[in-house]
Amino acid sequence: MYRRSGTGYTGIPAWIYAIAAAGALFVLLPLMAMVARVNWSQFIPLVTSESSRTALGLSLRTSAASTAACIVLGVPLALILARSPFPGQRLLRAFVLLPLVLPPVVGGIALLYTFGRQGLLGKSLELAGIQIAFSTSAVVLAQTYVALPFLVVSLEGALRTAGNKYEAVAATLGARPGTVLRRVTIPLVLPGLVSGAVLSFARSLGEFGATLTFAGSLQGVTRTLPLEIYLQRETDADAAVALSLLLVAVAVAVVGLSYRRPRLGVAPEGAVR
């Protein structure tokens, strides 16, 4: 794989740089405007207040749980979508990806009618003694619902790029399908899986609409950092801005540290790296 040396020919027209700069500015400027509004003298007390710490802790815990749920549900989905053609596959893919384009509040309403007390499954769950409404599980459900497509899309792409040549060879060497998945497929698409998981985590961290609609808002139970920000905004703009900055910092740290640019899951045979 080529690493750009910086001296090579890029083939990009000069005016593209101008528009790209405008695009970057469009994303950065609001963040900078927010940073400019931070009340720095109050910043530390604001972000370390009990409610802030509780909200951040809850956000990190629920996002980790939803990421795990996304991996458990998303890896099989991506495998089936990428590798095993079946009737209705396109339709299934469209539905799995739906939460990407759906307003989160719609997702929240849909979850409400599924897992809510009066919902499709909620009634049976309540009879079984499982109450999801207003619980931390509801937050995890809402986050998983909106974050799952990120993992599936990312992993399906990696699986398609990698192809199944290695799997075929592994099978002829005597590896049963479970072994092939564990020792060949997953290691080959690991970069795609990791970036998918990171995106899912980041999406879970930012989830607001579905949580608000479906899970409610109670400190330490369902009030994640975005909900806390939304609430603080009502009374204390400084606190809202400080917490927003905290959320941005956490998201940047997570994404920046572990998300690598998408690349082929496998280096071409014989390529010198």
Partner 1 sequence: MRIASKHVTAVLVAGVLAAGLAGCGAGTSGAGSTSSAGASGTPRLSGAITVFAAASLKSTFAKLASDFEATNPGTKITLNFAGSSDLVTQITQGAPADVFASADTRNMAKLADAKLIDGAPANFATNVLEIAVPPSNPASISSFADLAKPGVKVVVCAPQVPCGAATETVEKAAGTTLAPVSEESSVTDVLGKVTSGEADAGLVYVTDVKTAGDKVKGIPFAESDQAVNTYPIATVGTSKNKELAQAFIAAVTGSEGKKVLSDAGFGTP
Partner 2 sequence: MTFQLDATLAARRFAVSLSLGPTETIAILGPNGAGKSTLLSIISGLLRPDAGKATIGEKVLFDLDADKNIWRAPHTRGTALLAQEALLFPHLSALDNVAFGPRSAGASSAAARDTAMHWLTEVDADSLASRRPGQLSGGQAQRVAVARALAADPDLLLLDEPMAALDIHAAPLLRRLLKRVLAGRRAIIITHDILDALMLADRVIVLEDGRITEQGPTREVLEKPCSRFAAGLAGLNLVAGTVSDAGVTTAQGMVVAGQRDGTIEPGQDGVAVFPPSAVSVFLTEEHGSPRNSFQVIITDLEPHGDQIRVRAGRLSADITPAASADLGLTPGMSVYFVIKAAAIAIYPA
Shortest distance, position 272 Cβ to partner 2, whole Å: 7
The secondary structure of 135-175 as a DSSP string is SHHHHHHHHHHHHHHHHHHHHHHHHHHH-SHHHHHHHHTT-
Contact 254, 201 (CB under 8 A): yes
Interactions with partner 2, residue window 163-182 (CB under 8 A)? 165-166, 168-177, 179-180
Residue with tokens 């995106």: 199
Contact with partner 1 (CB under 8 A): which of 19, 120, 218, 253?
218
CB closer to partner 1 out of 28 and 253: 28
Contact with partner 1 (CB under 8 A): which of 70, 102, 111, 112?
112
CB closer to partner 1 out of 107 and 192: 107
Distances (CA, A) of 237 to 23, 27, 59, 89, 98: 28, 22, 21, 48, 34
- Pick the stretch among 93-101, 164-172, 224-232, 259-267 that binds partner 1 (CB under 8 A): 224-232
Q: Does 187 bind partner 2 (CB under 8 A)?
A: yes
Q: HSE on the CB side for 156, CA within 13 Å?
A: 21
Q: Which one of partner 1, partner 2, none is in contact with 90 (Cβ closer than 5 to 8 A by kind)? A: none
Distance, in Å, from the CA atom of 78 to the CA atom of 96, rounded to the nearest integer, reads: 10
Q: Does 133 bind partner 1 (CB under 8 A)?
A: yes
Distance, in Å, from the CA atom of 125 to the CA atom of 129, rounded to the nearest integer, reads: 6
Q: Which one of partner 2, partner 1, none is in contact with 126 (Cβ closer than 5 to 8 A by kind)? A: none
Contact 108, 211 (CB under 8 A): yes
Shortest distance, position 52 Cβ to partner 1, whole Å: 13
Contact with partner 1 (CB under 8 A): which of 1, 19, 20, 30?
30
Contact 229, 241 (CB under 8 A): no
CB closer to partner 2 out of 70 and 170: 170
Q: Does 234 bind partner 1 (CB under 8 A)?
A: yes
**Count, residues near partner 2 per rule CB under 8 A:** 26
- Pick the stretch among 27-35, 40-48, 139-147, 170-178 that binds partner 1 (CB under 8 A): 27-35
Distances (CA, A) of 43 to 38, 40, 225: 7, 5, 16
Q: HSE on the CB side for 51, CA within 13 Å?
A: 16
Binding site for partner 1 (CB under 8 A): 26, 29-30, 33, 112, 116-118, 133-134, 212-213, 215-219, 222-223, 227, 230-237
Binding site for partner 2 (CB under 8 A): 165-166, 168-177, 179-180, 183-184, 187-188, 190, 266-267, 269-273
